[in-house]
Amino acid sequence: MKIGFIGLGIMGKPMAKNLLKAGYDLTVNDLVKEAVDEVVAAGAKSAGKEEIGKTCDLVMTMVPDGPQVKEIVLGEKGLINYMRRGTTFIDMSSINPITSREIAAALAEKGVEMLDAPVSGGEPKAIDGTLSFMVGGRKEVFDRFKPVLSAMGSSVVLCGDVGAGNTTKLANQIIVALNIAACSEAFMLAKMAGVDPLLVFEAIRGGLAGSTVMEAKVPMMLEGNFKPGFKIDLHIKDLNNALECGHSVGAPLPLTSVVQDFLYNLRKDGRGQEMKYVLYRN
Question: Under DSSP, is residue 56 helix (H, G, I), strand (E, B) or coil?
Answer: coil
Strand partners, 60: 5, 90
Instruction: Among 139, 162, 185, give the residue marking a domain's end.
Output: 162
Instruction: Check if the beta carbon of residue 123 is closer than 8 Å to that of residue 8.
Output: no
Tell me how far apart the alpha carbons of residues 168 and 180 are, in angstroms, rounded to a whole number: 19
Task: Using the 3D structure, point to which of 132, 162, 192 is the last residue of a domain.
Answer: 162
Q: CATH number for the domain including 197?
A: 1.10.1040.10
Report whether pLDDT(282) > 70. Answer: no
114 and 199 together in one domain: no
Note down the domain range covering 120: 2-162
Question: Is residue 169 flagged as an active site residue?
Answer: yes
**One domain for residues 15 and 136:** yes
DSSP code for 28: E
pTM for the predicted model, two decimal places: 0.88
Q: Is residue 276 part of a domain?
A: no
Cβ atoms of 135 and 117 within 8 Å: the answer is yes
Q: What is the pLDDT of residues 5-19, one digit of tens each?
A: 999 999 999 999 999
**Residue 182 falls inside a structural domain:** yes
Query: Which listed residue (13, 49, 169, 276) is catalytic?
Result: 169
- Residues 143, 178, single domain; the answer is no
Identify whether residues 47 and 136 lie together within a single domain: yes
Give yes or no: residues 206 and 119 share one domain.
no
Q: Residue 205's closest CA among 226, 187, 229?
A: 187
Res. 226 pLDDT band, cuts 50 70 90: confident
Same domain, residue pair 203 and 129: no
Give 169-216 pLDDT, tens digit per residue: 999 999 999 999 999 999 999 999 999 999 999 999 999 999 999 998
Coil, strand or helix at 36? helix
The dihedrals phi and psi of 100, each to the nearest 5 degrees, come to -55, -45
Q: How do residues 7-55 score in pLDDT, each as one tens digit?
A: 999 999 999 999 999 999 999 999 999 999 999 999 999 999 999 999 9
Give the count of alpha carbons within 13 A of 21, CB side only.
14
141 and 195 together in one domain: no
**228 confidence band (pLDDT: 50, 70, 90):** low
Asked if residue 274 is part of any domain, the answer here is: no
Which of 127, 162, 197 is where one domain is finished?
162
